[in-house]
């Protein structure tokens, strides 16, 4: 599937060194789609990964699941969990590293948040059917909003590309979102709520589809009841936000460290070096 495209060009005012991104780039979306994304907080790309591109991601995640299984399931919870969450994926398999500059996601992130972006993280959530109910409560990702809002509060923006490696249906568990909720800066989802809430929209998409969401969109992963469900979360923020605090430190000899030893400036910026003043 190829989305209609248009061109965007940015300069950054009063910045004298060379820019580390193409000043003019093709956005994999129409202006109308971006406008709708800004208003609703989500953008669906059906079958963004197909054929071998999808199989490669599925196989890489299966390898990682096997390698880390014991670590994550040594003391399994009895009744309910999110399933397993694997972190720092770009440090662990070159297949995942290929997603760092994936234009259908990165170009949309740059069009929405500006040219100076960094990776917040690439992680995976895998959930299984069984006696232990695996689903997520309602939540949002950027939990740093002050109440009341100070006049010069910096609202954190983040885009999470939720990449579904299996069909998202009632067997695997759809995703529930509340359109527009990313703009609510005066409230948050009640803790440990798993049931439907007012305004929920339930999304079911085929394997390989990606649902891009603003990091503060209220959402929940509905229960995995019949079939294993694999998903990736590819996240970007402006360069001046910090990387994901979850999952501890990356592996010391990880792939991104090796890449940083010899890479272009854009890659450095995306991996968190520089891009602010
Ligand atoms: O599995 C999903 O569809 C969403 C998962 C999620 O919200 C998360 O891991 O933060
Ligand atoms: Fe989430």
pLDDT digits (tens, 9 = 90+) for 206-253: 999 999 999 999 999 999 999 999 999 999 999 999 988 898 899 989
What pLDDT digit, counting tens, does each position of 150-200 carry?
Answer: 999 999 999 999 999 999 999 999 999 999 999 999 999 999 999 999 999
Percent of the chain with pLDDT strictly greater than 90 = 87
CATH superfamily assigned to domain 6-270: q2cbj1_9rhob like domain (2.60.120.620)
What's the gap between Cα 273 and its chain centre? 20
If one counts every other C-beta atom within 10 angstroms of the C-beta of residue 115, the result is 23
As given in the structure block, the two tokens for residue 118 are 């960094």
What's the average model confidence in pLDDT over 78-83? 92
What's the average model confidence in pLDDT over 18-47? 93
Confidence of residue 276 (pLDDT cuts 50, 70, 90): confident
140 and 188 in contact (C-beta within 8 Å)? Answer: yes
- The CA 220 to ligand 1 mean position distance, Å, reads 6
Higher pLDDT, 175 or 276: 175
Strand 201-203 with 175-177, pairing: antiparallel
Query: Which ligand minimizes its atom distance to the CA of 136?
Result: 1
Protein residue with its CA nearest to atom 2 in ligand 1:
221
pLDDT at 18: 73
Does the pLDDT value for residue 1 go beyond 60? no
CB 162 less than 6 A from any atom of ligand 1: yes
pTM, two decimals, is: 0.97
pLDDT at 177: 98
Strand 159-164 with 229-238, pairing: antiparallel
What's the average model confidence in pLDDT over 28-47? 98
Confidence of residue 2 (pLDDT cuts 50, 70, 90): low
At residue 163's C-alpha, the angle toward residues 52 and 218, to 5°, is 170
Residues in Cβ contact with 31 at an 8 Å cutoff, skipping those fewer than 6 apart: 6
pLDDT at 74: 86
Strand 24-27 with 6-9, pairing: antiparallel
Q: Candidates 89, 124, 125, 220: which one to mutate for ligand 1, based on the most atoms within 8 Å of Cβ? A: 125
d(CA 174, CA 49): 18
CB 127 less than 6 A from any atom of ligand 1: no
End-to-end, the C-alpha distance of the chain in Å comes to 39
d(CA 234, CA 82): 18
Q: Which of 8-12, 27-31, 66-70 has the lowest mean pLDDT?
A: 8-12
Confidence of residue 76 (pLDDT cuts 50, 70, 90): confident
Does the pLDDT value for residue 75 go beyond 90? no
Protein residue with its CA nearest to atom 4 in ligand 1:
221
What is the layout of strands, in order, in the sheet containing 159-164? 42-45, 210-214, 159-164, 229-238, 117-127, 84-86
* Prior bond of 148 cis (ω within 30°): yes
Protein residue with its CA nearest to atom 1 in ligand 1:
221
Confidence of residue 29 (pLDDT cuts 50, 70, 90): very high
256 and 89 in contact (C-beta within 8 Å)? Answer: no
Cα 218 to Cα 42, 69, 141, 185: the distances in Å are: 11, 29, 9, 12
């Amino acid at each position: 599937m190829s989305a209609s495209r248009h061109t965007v060009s940015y300069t950054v005012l009063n910045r004298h060194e060379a820019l580390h991104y193409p000043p003019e780039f093709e956005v994999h979306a129409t202006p109308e789609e971006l406008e709708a994304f800004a208003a609703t907080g989500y953008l669906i790309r059906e079958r963004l990964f197909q054929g071998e591109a999808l199989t490669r991601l599925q196989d890489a995640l299966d390898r990682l699941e096997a390698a880390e299984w014991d670590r994550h399931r040594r003391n399994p919870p009895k009744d309910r969990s999110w399933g397993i969450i694997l972190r720092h994926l770009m440090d662990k398999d070159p297949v995942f590293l290929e997603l760092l500059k994936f234009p259908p996601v990165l170009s949309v992130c740059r069009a929405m948040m500006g040219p100076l972006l960094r990776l917040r993280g690439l992680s995976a959530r895998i959930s299984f059917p069984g006696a232990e109910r695996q689903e997520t409560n309602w939540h949002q990702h950027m939990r740093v909003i002050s109440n009341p809002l100070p006049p010069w509060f910096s609202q954190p923006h983040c885009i999470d590309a939720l990449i579904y490696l299996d069909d998202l249906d009632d067997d695997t568990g759809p995703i529930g979102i509340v359109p527009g909720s990313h703009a609510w800066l005066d409230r948050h989802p009640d803790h440990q709520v798993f049931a439907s809430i007012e305004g929920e929209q339930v999304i079911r998409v085929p394997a390989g589809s990606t649902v891009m969401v603003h990091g503060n969109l209220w959402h929940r992963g509905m229960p995995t009841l019949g079939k294993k469900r694999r998903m990736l979360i590819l996240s970007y923020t402006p360069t001046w936000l910090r990387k994901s605090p979850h999952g501890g430190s990356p592996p010391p000899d990880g792939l991104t460290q090796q890449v940083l030893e010899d890479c272009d400036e854009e890659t450095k910026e995306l991996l968190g070096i520089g891009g602010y003043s």
